[in-house]
Amino acid sequence: MPTEADLARREGRDYETGAQLLQRILAERRKAWTGKGKYKEPEPPDTTGLPELPEGWCWASVGQLSTKVVDGVHKKPTYVPSGIPFVTVRNLTAGAGISLERLHYVTEADHAEFSKRTNVERGDILISKDGTLGVVRIVDTDVAFSVFVSVALVKPVCRAMGMFLLHALSAPQVQLQMVPKGSGLQHIHLEDLRADCIPVAPMEEQHRIVAEVERRLSIADRLMANLGDDLGRAGRMRQAVLLGAFGGRASLASASTG
C-alpha cells in the first residue's frame, strides 16, 4: 500500500499534506480558544536531530495538536464509598486500555471542580507522568471520571487523529523524548510533554497506518498468548511494531506499504 503522496501522484490528484493538515488544526485550535487572556500560538517543534519523514509528512509538537495538555488534581481528594471514579496511574498500567477496576471514588461536587481543569472526554489521550512513565491510553468510554496529578490529559484538536496519536505517542521514538526529571520520584513535566514531536501524516494515510498497526499488534498479541506469559517479550514485540510504524522515512514507508 503506497503512501498518500504516491497514490496522489499515480492518480493525478491533489491531497492534503501533513503540513496542510497541521495548518488546519492550528486554525481550528485558534478558533476553539476559550481561555483567559490573549490567545498564544503553541510552540513549533524543535526538529533538531529528528529523522527525515516520508513525502507529505511533517513534524508537529504535542502542544500544536492539542487544545490542552494538563494533569489531574494536585491534592489527594477525599474518597467516598461510591461516586465518580478517580483514575490514577495504576488504572493505566493494569492492562490494555483504562481499567475501571480497583478504583477510589470522589463526590460529584469534587468531580465538577476537578473537571474545570481536566475535563476528560471520549477520544482524549491519557499519559502516565509520575511513577511508571509514558503509558499511553485513549479514552474509549463515556463514563465520567476524574484523574490524579500523576496522569496527564492530552485533548486532540482533531478528534479523528486519536488512534494515530495513541500509537505515535507509544512509539519508541516519541517515548525517548519523554525524559523524566526530578530527584527521587521522577516525573514528566507538562511543558516537556507539550514540546514532544509527533510525525503527522496525511489523514487518509493515518487511517491506513492505524489499521496496519492494529493488525500487527493483534498478531503479536495472539503469538504471545500461544508462547505463554512472557511480558518482556510481549513488550518488545509491541515496541517493534510501533518502531516500524514511526521510526523514520524507511520504516514509516514500510509501515504504510505493508
Give the confidence band of 11 by pLDDT, cuts at 50, 70, 90. Answer: very high
Distance CA 128, CA 94 (A): 12
pLDDT at position 36: 80
Note the pLDDT of residue 211: 94
Q: What is the pLDDT of residue 138?
A: 97
229 has pLDDT over 90: no
> What is the predicted pLDDT for the residue at 110?
98
Res 241 pLDDT > 80: no
Mean pLDDT of the chain: 88
Write out pLDDT tens, residues 41-62.
999 999 998 888 999 999 999 9
The pLDDT assigned to 249 comes to: 41
Q: What is the separation of C-alpha 88 from the centre of its chain, rounded to a whole number of angstroms?
A: 17
Output the pLDDT for position 250: 36
pLDDT for res 94: 81
What are the structural domains, with CATH classification, of the chain?
1-61+159-183+195-258 (no CATH), 66-156 (3.90.220.20)
List pLDDT tens digits, range 96-139. 889 998 899 999 999 999 999 999 999 999 999 998 899 999 99
- In SS3 terms, the chain reads as CCCHHHHHHHHCCCCCCHHHHHHHHHHHHHHCCCCCCCCCCCCCCCCCCCCCCCCCCEEEECCCCEEEEEECECCCCCCECCCEEEECHHHHHCCCCCCCCCCEEECHHHHHHHCCCCCCCCCCEEEECECCCCCEEECCCCCCCEEECCEEEEEECCHHHHHHHHHHHHCHHHHCCCCCECCCCCECCHHHHHHCEEEECCHHHHHHHHHHHHHHHHHHHHHHHHHCCCHHHHHHHHHHHHHHHHCCHHHHHHHHHC
Nearest to 239 by CA among 184, 149, 197, 176: 176
Q: Which range has the worst mean pLDDT, 67-71, 147-151, 177-181?
A: 177-181
| CA 123-200-187 angle, 5° bins | 65
pLDDT for residue 234 is more than 70: no
Confidence at residue 181, expressed as pLDDT on a 0 to 100 scale: 87
